[in-house]
Amino acid sequence: MRRIDEKRALLRRDLRSGRLGIQGKLLIQLTLLIAFVISLIWICQIALLYGFYQNYRSGQVHSAADTILQNIDHDDLDELADRISADNEICMLLLDAEGTEILSIDHVRYCLLHRMSSRELQRLIDRTPPDGEELVEMFNVDPFRNDRYHAAEFEGAVPREESSTGRSMIYAQRVFFEDGAYGTLMINAQITPTSTILAMLKRQFVYIVVLILLVTAIIGYLMAASVSMPIIETNRAARALSRGEYHRANHSNGYREIAELNDTLVQAAEDLKKVETLQRELIANISHDLRTPLTMIQGYAETMRDLPDEMNPENMQIIIDETNRLSSLVNEVMEFSRLRTGNMQLSPSVFDLSEMAKAIVQRVSAMTEKDGYRVCCLTEGPCPVKGDQARIEQVVYNLLGNALTYTGEDQRVTLRTEEKGAWIRVSISDTGKGIAEEELPYIWDRYYRTRESHRRAVIGSGLGLNICRGILENHQVPYGVDSVKGLGTTFWFELEKAA
């Protein structure tokens, strides 16, 4: 019932808009095709029937004449001629040079040859070419009339009063016998269909048209439904997506291309649902990170307002630190937005990656040593590389912040640089619980985070991995992550050595 209502709604909408749906267009196109086929059948079977029939009958007459000429001296020629005449509904007349009948066969109702007088036959013989060429003449034939018969006087399916039997062909050709004598072969055949044939063909045409229309209506409806239903379902699912409904739709079987389109739409729905879920989680995590420093700033500010003795450098520094944390979070969210819109601009230069790593580790250690964290830096001397130094610093800083957030109870993080042929690899390792193997391919995805409950970042905002991915992809350098459950995780990237 729901589908019927939807179809009615779609039909009303199409009528209002002046556009037809795919089902209506298919039915119209199929109707036009069938109309063309019916017209073609009518033209061939009715309109062009006389021409086809005339050519066919003319071929029969010529074939019969050739057969008679090939067997002209056979002893049983009359038996052959009788069989040919009966099969082809023709009459034959073979005369010698004096006009005497040698062969006379009549299988035609209105035979002109057997109605001609001897004088008319002689004129026909005289017009026959003496060199063996054929003579063909056409005549309009009137029926044998019976003035006493009137069809209107009888009841039931009575024969009608014929006014004309149509056109008749007379074929004449000079023949030569073995003894040197010659004669004339004449054949008569009606070359227009009889009224019986015409009536039969017209009735047959009506039956064919009715059958074609009936079969077309059934097949057309089934075909239109089979083609349009998957598209209608796809359209319905697309409308559901626009309303934020990301459930997986059940699609009926259709053509391969439509099935692939449906599968793509279903996959898009699942991806959108996943993205929306992860986006909500990300917003919740960022809100959590914003709430904590704001609460601390508000609390310390109110305390310092109400208790003048609490207005000391330590409390002021806490407010400054939390303000810096908020500023860092806002900056990273803006950086994340620039990455996703493709507005990031790189300024490549040559710099010492080892010295940069040491400086970052020193700054991070100064911020985290008071909380018990230890950050180690293992380098192998100068490492000149080419890249955007400010962006690479941001990558290292974010990876360190991620490692500090998820490191183990020993609170140790290690940054290492090492040569890999023409590349310098930077790896940052923690000693945390690690990442499940099935989650590793998705750890860099937008909005993705592991199943572990949210933890507030020690430094940074928690958006570091997404930002790192964008920066490294803009540099077009290799990067990755290795992790073993229970032993920790190592994030790494490589930069090409500077010449």
Taking alpha carbons only, the member of 435, 457, 453, 455 closest to residue 445 is: 435
* Tokens found for residue 140: 């309009």
Taking alpha carbons only, the member of 116, 81, 87 closest to residue 102 is: 81
Taking alpha carbons only, the member of 89, 35, 451 closest to residue 277 is: 451
Tell me the mean pLDDT in the region 32-48.
Answer: 80
Name the percent of the chain lying above pLDDT 70.
77
pLDDT at 148: 66
* Tokens found for residue 126: 């005289």
Of residues 441 and 252, more confidence is placed in 441
* Confidence check: pLDDT of 15 > 50: no
Taking alpha carbons only, the member of 11, 33, 12, 34 closest to residue 24 is: 11
Distance CA 197, CA 225 (A): 41
Taking alpha carbons only, the member of 169, 171, 170, 166 closest to residue 192 is: 166
Q: Which CATH number fits domain 71-144+161-194: 3.30.565.10, 3.30.390.10, 3.30.450.20, 3.40.50.720?
A: 3.30.450.20
Distance CA 336, CA 465 (A): 10
Structural contact between residues 348 and 479, judged by C-beta atoms closer than 8 angstroms? no
Tell me the mean pLDDT in the region 351-376.
Answer: 88
Between the alpha carbon of residue 455 and those of residues 149, 398, 406, 462, 490, the distances in Å are 113, 15, 8, 9, 19
Q: What CATH architecture does domain 344-496 belong to? A: 2-Layer Sandwich (3.30)
Q: Amino acid letter at 62? A: H
pLDDT at 454: 45
* Confidence check: pLDDT of 122 > 80: yes
Of residues 81 and 339, more confidence is placed in 81
Structural contact between residues 209 and 38, judged by C-beta atoms closer than 8 angstroms? yes
pLDDT at 493: 94
Query: Spelled out in words, what is the top-level CATH class assigned to the domain 260-321?
Result: mainly alpha
* Confidence check: pLDDT of 151 > 80: no
Q: Using one digit for the tens of pLDDT, what is the confidence trace for 190-209?
A: 887 666 666 777 788 888 88
pLDDT at 460: 47
pLDDT at 385: 92
Which residues are CB-contacts of 246 (< 8 A; sequence separation ≥ 6)?
Answer: 269, 270, 272, 273, 276
Confidence band of 494 (pLDDT split at 50, 70, 90): very high
pLDDT at 145: 52
Burial level of 371, CB count in 10 A (0-12/13-18/19+)?
Answer: exposed
Task: Pick the range with the lowest mean pLDDT from 114-118, 156-160, 460-464.
Answer: 460-464
Tell me the mean pLDDT in the region 356-381.
Answer: 86
Name the percent of the chain lying above pLDDT 90.
17
> Three-state secondary structure along the chain?
CHHHHHHHHHHHHHHHHCCCCHHHHHHHHHHHHHHHHHHHHHHHHHHCHHHHHHHHHHHHHHHHHHHHHHCCCCCCHHHHHHHHHHHHCCEEEEEECCCCEEEEECCCCCCCHHHCCHHHHHHHHHHCCCCCCEEEEEEEECCCCCCCCCHHHCCCCCCCCCCCCEEEEEEEEEEECCCCCEEEEEEEEECCCCHHHHHHHHHHHHHHHHHHHHHHHHHHHHHHHHHHHHHHHHHHHHHHHHCCCCCCCCCCCCCHHHHHHHHHHHHHHHHHHHHHHHHHHHHHHHHHHHHHHHHHHHHHHHHHHHCHHHCCHHHHHHHHHHHHHHHHHHHHHHHHHHHHHCCCCCCCEEEEHHHHHHHHHHHHHHHHHHHCCEEEEECCCCCEEEECHHHHHHHHHHHHHHHHHHCCCCCEEEEEEEEECCEEEEEEEECCCCCCHHHHHHCCCCCCCCCCCCCCCCCCCCCHHHHHHHHHHHHCCCEEEEEECCCEEEEEEEEEECC
**Global pTM?**
0.45
Confidence band of 445 (pLDDT split at 50, 70, 90): low
* Confidence check: pLDDT of 452 > 60: no
Task: Pick the range with the lowest mean pLDDT from 273-287, 392-406, 432-446.
Answer: 273-287
Of residues 60 and 217, more confidence is placed in 60
What is the DSSP pairing of strand 91-96 with strand 101-105? antiparallel
* Confidence check: pLDDT of 343 > 90: no
* Confidence check: pLDDT of 299 > 80: yes
Tell me the mean pLDDT in the region 131-154.
Answer: 72
Taking alpha carbons only, the member of 399, 496, 487, 414 closest to residue 444 is: 399
Tell me the mean pLDDT in the region 285-298.
Answer: 73
pLDDT at 142: 62
pLDDT at 289: 64
Give the position of tokens 């806490």. 318
pLDDT at 161: 60
Tell me the mean pLDDT in the region 431-454.
Answer: 70
pLDDT at 479: 93
Task: Pick the range with the lowest mean pLDDT from 74-83, 172-181, 272-281.
Answer: 272-281
Mean pLDDT of the chain: 79
Task: Pick the range with the lowest mean pLDDT from 111-125, 333-347, 465-479.
Answer: 333-347
Residue spans of the domains in the chain: they are: 71-144+161-194, 260-321, 344-496
